[in-house]
Structure 1
């Protein structure tokens, strides 16, 4: 009897993990389609990654998607461009906590900031350094990270 009960617990745990993975993948799929996750014209994608949040139905970690691209724009120009492209659909606020010469903003989708309370984005632009795989004409490397809490 104890073996049957233990097997049932293991089976239920595995089913819960599968459901969590599927829910995380749905969030990742949604985040991947957001307008902020598109490489702007003239920029070059350097990497794209995603991470399942995991956890369980009580403690849920946020799945995330990260895009890194190089651009010929300077970090302040990236900031101007991000605001020009997304101010009507995102509430980005500039953030002073960034390396010297860089630009950073964090925000959530809008126009109603409470419409999607579990989704947040962080955009960081920094100067190109010698170890970046960016083209010689690139002036900035931009990292866009978006995450969202998985529904229960």
Structure 2
């Protein structure tokens, strides 16, 4: 079992949808599906019930979810300790921007930010103003 498999499991459980979880994690739907299949296969369990195109947590998945979250929280805390010791700024930053801002204003600023903080993973979602607002309000973007 890997931390990536746990991250994917938690994302799918929280989103209730393989594709949406994959998009949120920045991976392909097939990679997310493969990680879930591998996790289930490695341990001989079924974590999700698949009904047509829908997916829901199985009983085992419900029992496993709080443990998976706890492991991810502990891993984040451990990473935080190392980052504090090394004084390296790391993490992830999700930005939602309109087409014009994303095309003309944002690239120079992202490049400068990345040069100053190379350990921060940047992700940008482009949409119209209403989509940017919704992404920020729903927590899918840190800022817009």
TM-score, length basis structure 2? 0.26
Higher percent of residues as strand:
1
Higher percent of residues as helix:
2
